[in-house]
């Protein structure tokens, strides 16, 4: 008869190896160890202006909860990785978070291409993924409920761009965009709104690494649009705007607020960006959650992505408490019971929510980005949008609707 020696070190090493493959849930690990949550954000690359503040908000919420005693008697540990606004870098970082750090959830993926690349890693390992990416295809993936999205879909965003162009009196609209997972859907839904009002559209997909877009601008001029929609990121949009200005085009321009942001405005001559309209999902600025976030991170006007990750981390922490477990499947199954419980007490932060959950009471989270009610596919049900215009080198609010 063979014999073996049992050791705690050997057992835990084996469990760790199995957990890395997804065969054993994370809850097998020591129950007094920290609950690990990943922040996978763009600290560099095109999304670099947003990632650091997003991480600041995530860590601030975790710090609040830890100071109040944690969740399930355990502290929250936030492990931050840079996806570099690059799918390959995002996959490497996600692999580390899942296989090495063994996080229960990953929060904050920004670029749709990164989210699309990372998503299979999450659902295959049973890790919840909360994203701020807008491409419609993301929640059409076979994610088994492991994706929730706080960002409005591209269908909704495209419609808003098209309707705003109609308000500007559009007859002919030209859409510039690099090849992104949301470009086709964005243009299709812009077109629906413009054509419904009697207008017409044309699109051009460009290489976002080119040093000049003069030939693309010439094609636009030949079409003769009265409105241009810029669908790129900040770096390529800055180059494109310079070529558009040199061409003498005098029509209206509409862009994503994440590309024509204050950093871009400050980096180019004023005449190049003056008058551009920007559109973005709007934070719920009148909400108590938004005001709490402002105080928590000492940022007066947090961008939509920061408000969204603030909501994501609050929801995940409360879902852990509601489920009584910190693994990704338990979070997945419980998150709607804290985000949209009918008749639940309205809360705007996890600290208060945890108290109510401990008392056996239902909660209904109302966030800094708005009501966080999710469809069966993981999309939020509705969102407000913020419309601004560059005026005198600053973004001036036109409306929130």
Average pLDDT for 205-210 = 95
Q: What is the CATH number assigned to the segment(s) 8-152+286-365? A: 3.40.50.2300
- Residue 281, pLDDT score: 87
Helix (H) or strand (E) run with residue 200 in it: strand 200-206
pLDDT class of 180 with cuts at 50, 70, 90: confident
Task: Decide which of 3.40.50.300, 3.40.50.2300, 3.30.505.10, 1.10.10.10 is the CATH code for 154-281+385-400.
Answer: 3.40.50.2300
pLDDT class of 27 with cuts at 50, 70, 90: very low
Higher pLDDT: 347 or 3? It is 347
Nearest to 356 by CA among 370, 342, 345: 345
Q: What is the dihedral of CA 9, 10, 16, 18, to 10 degrees?
A: -160
Residue 371 DSSP one-character state: B
Give the pairing type, strands 105-109 and 76-82: unpaired
Task: Return d(Cα 10, Cα 15) in angstroms, integer.
Answer: 9
Higher pLDDT: 9 or 298? It is 298
Sequence ranges of the chain with CATH classification 3.40.50.2300: 8-152+286-365, 154-281+385-400
- SS3 call for 70: coil
- Residue 241, pLDDT score: 98
């Amino acid at each position: 008869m063979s014999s073996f020696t049992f050791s705690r070190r050997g057992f835990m090493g084996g469990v760790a190896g199995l957990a890395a493959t997804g065969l054993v849930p994370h809850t097998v690990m020591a129950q007094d160890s920290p609950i690990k949550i990943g922040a996978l954000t763009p600290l560099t690359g095109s999304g670099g202006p947003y990632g650091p503040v997003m991480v600041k908000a995530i860590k601030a919420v975790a710090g609040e909860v830890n100071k109040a005693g944690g969740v399930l008697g355990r502290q929250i540990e936030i492990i931050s990785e840079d996806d570099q606004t690059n799918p390959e870098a995002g996959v490497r970082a996600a692999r580390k978070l899942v296989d090495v750090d063994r996080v229960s959830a990953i929060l904050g993926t920004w670029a749709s291409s990164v989210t699309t690349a990372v998503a299979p890693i999450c659902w295959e390992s049973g890790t919840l993924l909360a994203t701020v990416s807008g491409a419609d295809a993301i929640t059409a993936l076979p994610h088994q409920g492991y994706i929730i999205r706080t960002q409005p879909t591209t269908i909704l965003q495209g419609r808003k761009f098209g309707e705003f162009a109609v308000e500007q009196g559009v007859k002919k609209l030209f859409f510039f965009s690099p090849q992104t997972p949301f470009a086709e859907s964005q243009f299709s839904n812009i077109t629906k709104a413009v054509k419904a009002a009697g207008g017409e559209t044309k699109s051009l997909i460009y290489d976002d690494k080119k040093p000049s877009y003069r030939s693309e601008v010439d094609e636009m001029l030949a079409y003769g649009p009265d409105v241009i929609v810029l669908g790129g990121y900040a770096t390529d949009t800055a180059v494109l705007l310079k070529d558009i200005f040199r061409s003498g085009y005098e029509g209206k321009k509409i862009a994503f607020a994440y590309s024509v942001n204050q950093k871009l405005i400050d980096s180019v001559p004023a005449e190049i960006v003056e008058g551009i309209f920007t559109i973005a999902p709007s934070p719920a600025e009148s909400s108590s959650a938004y005001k709490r976030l402002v105080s928590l991170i000492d940022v007066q006007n947090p961008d939509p992505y920061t408000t969204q990750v603030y909501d994501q981390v609050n929801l995940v922490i409360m879902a852990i408490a509601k489920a009584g477990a910190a693994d990704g499947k338990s979070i997945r199954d419980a998150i709607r019971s804290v985000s949209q419980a009918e008749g639940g007490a309205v809360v705007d932060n996890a600290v208060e929510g945890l108290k109510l959950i401990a008392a056996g009471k239902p909660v209904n989270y109302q966030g800094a980005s708005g009501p966080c009610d999710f469809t069966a596919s993981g999309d939020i049900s509705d969102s407000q949008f913020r419309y601004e215009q560059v005026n005198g080198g600053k973004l001036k609010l036109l409306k929130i609707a």
